[in-house]
Amino acid sequence: MDMIERLKTFLLLTVLTAFLLFMGNLIGGKTGLTVALFMAGFMNLIAYFFSDKIVLAMYRARELSEQEAPSIHRMVQELSVSAGIPKPKVYVVPSMSPNAFATGRNPSNAVVALTDGIMKILNDSELRGVIAHEIAHIKNRDTLIQVIAATIAGAIMYLADMLKWGLFFFGGRSDDREGHGLGNILGLVAISILAPIAAMIVQFAISRSREFLADETGAKISNDPLALASALKKITGYVERVPMEANPATSHLFIVNPLSGSSILSLFSTHPPVEKRIERLYKMAGLSSY
């Protein structure tokens, strides 16, 4: 399963890249593509270096000292050694909705953030499974992969905007309103509308694939897939009853979608169905069902 998810991520990134090249050539050839890539790349480079600080500030997270939670720090230390990465910092988010996320641009600058709620409702083995999942995200460099996906998707959305504005100012000329010209304009309008949606769907598919991979890697790091499965089941039940005031733009960071209580089509979800995640973890443990 590990190789399948890695291959899936590679193929989805390839699809996004091919789509970007198509859009760039459609609008302005190599010049238009270069401009779009530069602008999107610059914006996401800033996000890559500062997104961790922005997210931690957004959720009013504070660093959790070793004196406050020695057992959690021991878990993080032990699991980091097992994963072969430096021990990340530990932060706590003041929310009773149980959840967790990892952030940071690389393993040497990483943070594992836990809400007050998740530390309250999970037992030690379940919490260990959750921390292993977040350390897996750090080990797999999912922050970097998500930034690459966001860069390409952002460039596609930027090109779609360029196309829309180009059609607005130049698409309605009288010599283009007849026959073949009108057909071309309608086709370009459709592309300008559908391209951002398609890019977003592929970006979310990458996010779902990385969640599956983090579940598997985390279960291997902790050597206890059933603990993570139990944690996912418990967290999901609580999240629906104790919703979190989360920004949709950051929902992909959390171990369970904090917006999962709302009805979101699977194609537009940042997380795979929890039932499928638990089923895969049970199979890792050699069990056929849960």
What pLDDT is attached to residue 148? 76
- What is the C-alpha separation between 10 and 5, in angstroms, rounded? 9
Given a cut of 70, is residue 116 above it in pLDDT?
yes
Whole-number pLDDT of residue 65: 96
Comparing 10-14, 182-186, 247-251, the range with the smallest average pLDDT is 182-186
| Token reading at 141 | 């460099």
Distance of CA 223 to the CA centre of its chain: 24
Distance separating alpha carbons of residues 209 and 207, to the nearest angstrom: 5
DSSP assignment of 265-285 equals -GGG-SS--HHHHHHHHHHHT
Task: Answer whether 0.85 is exceeded by the pTM.
Answer: no
Nearest CA to 118 out of 214, 278, 255 is that of: 255
How far from chain centre, in Å, is Cα 250?
Answer: 8
Candidates 5, 134, 211, 216; catalytic one: 134
Q: Taking residues 254-272, what's their average pLDDT? A: 74
Q: Which amino acid is present at 240? A: E
**Does residue 88 sit within a domain?**
yes
The mean per-residue pLDDT over the stretch 182-204 comes to 76
Alpha helices by DSSP H, listed for the chain, are 2-58, 70-83, 116-121, 124-139, 142-170, 179-222, 225-241, 274-284
Higher pLDDT, residue 62 or 268: 62
- Which residue segment(s) compose the domain that 68 sits in? 2-284
CA distances from 142 to 116, 146, 240 (A): 24, 6, 26
Residue 274 covered by a domain: yes
97 belongs to a structural domain: yes
Confidence of residue 243 (pLDDT cuts 50, 70, 90): confident
What is the structure's pLDDT at 163?
75
Structural domains of the chain, count: 1
* 122 conformational bin, left if phi > 0, alpha if psi -120 to 50, beta if neither: beta
196 or 30: whose pLDDT is higher? Answer: 196
Q: Are 101 and 253 in contact (CB under 8 A)?
A: yes
Least confident range of 81-85, 89-93, 172-176: 172-176
Per-residue pLDDT band at 23 (split at 50, 70, 90): confident
Residues 280 and 228 sit within 8 Å (Cβ to Cβ): no
Q: Is the pLDDT of residue 27 over 80?
A: no
The whole-number pLDDT of residue 78 equals: 97
Write down the mean pLDDT value for the chain. Answer: 83
Lowest mean pLDDT among 15-19, 24-28, 121-125, 251-255: 24-28
Which helix or strand (DSSP H or E) is residue 111 part of? strand 111-115
**139 token code pair:** 């080990």
- The number of residues making up the chain comes to 290
**pLDDT tens digits, one per residue of 52-82:** 898 999 999 999 999 999 999 999 999 999 9
To the query of whether residue 126 is one of the catalytic residues in this protein, the response is: no
- pLDDT score recorded for residue 174: 45
Residue among 82, 26, 4 at smallest CA distance from 195: 26
Q: Whose structure tokens read 């530069």?
A: 38
The answer to whether the CB of 92 falls within 8 A of the CB of 114 is: yes
Whether residue 178 has pLDDT greater than 70:
no
In a domain, 62, yes or no: yes
| pLDDT confidence band for 173 (50 / 70 / 90) | very low
Confirm whether 290 is domain-assigned.
no
For residue 254, the 8-state DSSP code is B
Position 61 in a domain: yes
Say whether pLDDT at 172 is over 70: no
pLDDT of the residue at 249: 76
Decide if 280 is inside a domain: yes
Sheet strands side by side (includes 62-63): 62-63, 89-93, 111-115, 100-103
Contact between 209 and 9 (Cβ < 8 Å):
yes
Percent of the chain at pLDDT exceeding 90: 44
- Within a domain: 34: yes
CA-closest candidate to residue 97, choices 124, 126, 120: 120
Residue 287: per-residue pLDDT: 87
pLDDT at 207: 87
Give yes or no for a contact between 154 and 202, defined as CB atoms under 8 angstroms apart. Answer: no
